[in-house]
Amino acid sequence: MNFRNKGMFLLDLCIAFAGLWLDQFTKGLAVTHLKGAPAIVLIPGVLELRYLENRGAAFGFLQNQKAFFVIMTCLVLALLLYALWRMPASPRYRLFHMMGGVLIAGALGNFLDRLRLDYVVDFIYISLIDFPVFNVADMYISGICALGLVIVFFGHMEEKDFAFLLPGKKKQVEE
Contact 101, 13 (CB under 8 A): yes
Active-site residue among 23, 118, 138, 161? 138
Buried residues in 118-146 as b, exposed as e (16+ CB within 10 A)? ebbbbbbbebeeeeebbbbbbebbeebee
Contact 151, 138 (CB under 8 A): no
**Is 138 marked active-site?**
yes
**Is 118 marked active-site?**
no
Q: Dmax over Cα atoms in the chain, in whole Å? A: 58
Active-site residue among 12, 23, 113, 122? 122
Angle at 59 between CA 54 and CA 61, to 5 degrees: 80
Active-site residues: which are they? 122, 138
